[in-house]
Amino acid sequence: MKSKSPDPPRYDISKSPPVDQVGVAERAKRFTTRSIKNECKRSGLQLVLNMIDLTTLEGADTPNKVKQLCYKANHLHDSIPGLPTTAAVCVYPTLVKTARKALGKSSPVKIASVATAFPSGQGYLDLKLEETKRAVGDGADEIDMVISRGKFLSGDYDYVFDEIAAVKKACGKARLKVILETGELGTLDNVRRASDIAIHAGADFIKTSTGKISSAATIPITLVMLLAIRDHYYKTGQMIGMKPAGGISNAKLALHYLVMVKETVGPEWLTNEWFRFGASSLANDVLMQIAKLEDGHYQASRYFSKD
């Protein structure tokens, strides 16, 4: 009989350090002033492409739309040789089987699925766990869960911790991305607390946003989350991934994010195993920039598929 793996000890929230808001704002501003030379730009843009999770999470999603998304993930732009695939496609649990069949067995593109009553997080735990298990059973490599923000804002941090730990267990071999929905947390101190809780409860990634509210990823918020990841790494040697999602729609901004990652947690995080962008619209702008580097001209938007 297999022995059960022990549950992680709950995180002592008093250990989360307060955030120096002025210091974070000043440091975040400096990342946007870095100049990136043309010889580094193409490799940086290709890296960005390979870090994108192409996403469709609408009520009107159909199997055909998911199939088109999967084709784009594998073939970003057939007229530009040497481009990588995206990191993943992200779909609702009911469309995981469709994505698995469309991608095929040889594709390096992962399948991510949202779960746990996405995007509100307002649901019964047993249903959240069942949804997670079914998505993994249907072929999801990654689960993007949302925390219960109502419980967090009520100060019930143990509930948030226990729920994440339970979902992590339900994931089995699939990796778990924990969405904080930072636009609803109110303060950078809350962002740091939620990051620490998620990391200690077993998150493989922490993620800013669902993309369903207007306030999404920002450089200061991502920096605070990266600092939580860095501090955890210094204490334990364990790497945790980071995924800013929503609001990153142009290549220049994405490159600034890569600079921040390298300078905050280190070059080891500059791979899609540890850093992702949740920004489907970003892919087309990056492709336009790469095309311009190829021949000196921007291609018309009609040459790029719409997600």
Q: 197: closest CA among 20, 14, 13, 19?
A: 13
How far apart are the C-alpha atoms of 307 and 301, rounded to whole Å? 13
Catalytic residue among 133, 196, 243, 285: 243
pTM of structure: 0.93
- Distance between CA atoms of residues 121 and 252, nearest Å: 33
In whole angstroms, give the CA distance from residue 158 to residue 175. 22
Bridge partners of residue 110, in order along the sequence: 88
Chain segment 229-272, per-residue pLDDT in tens: 999 999 999 999 999 998 898 999 999 999 999 999 999 999 99
110 is catalytic: no
Q: Is there a catalytic annotation at residue 252?
A: no
The residue extents of the domains of the chain are 37-293
The single residue of 110, 207, 231, 285 carrying the catalytic annotation is: 207
Residue 53 appears among annotated catalytic residues: no
Secondary-structure class of domain 37-293 per CATH: alpha beta
- Residues 144, 196, 204, 285: which is the catalytic one? 144
Q: pLDDT tens digit string along 12-67? A: 988 999 999 999 999 999 998 887 776 688 899 999 999 999 999 999 999 999 99
* Contact predicate 218/253, CB 8 Å: no
User: Going by C-beta distance under 8 Å and a sequence separation of 6 or more, which residues neighbour residue 284?
Assistant: 301, 304, 305, 306
307, pLDDT greater than 70: no
CA–CA separation, 172 and 112 (whole Å) = 14
Q: Residues 171-221: pLDDT tens digits?
A: 999 999 999 999 999 999 999 999 999 999 999 999 999 989 888 899 999
pLDDT band at 294 (very low <50, low <70, confident <90, very high): confident
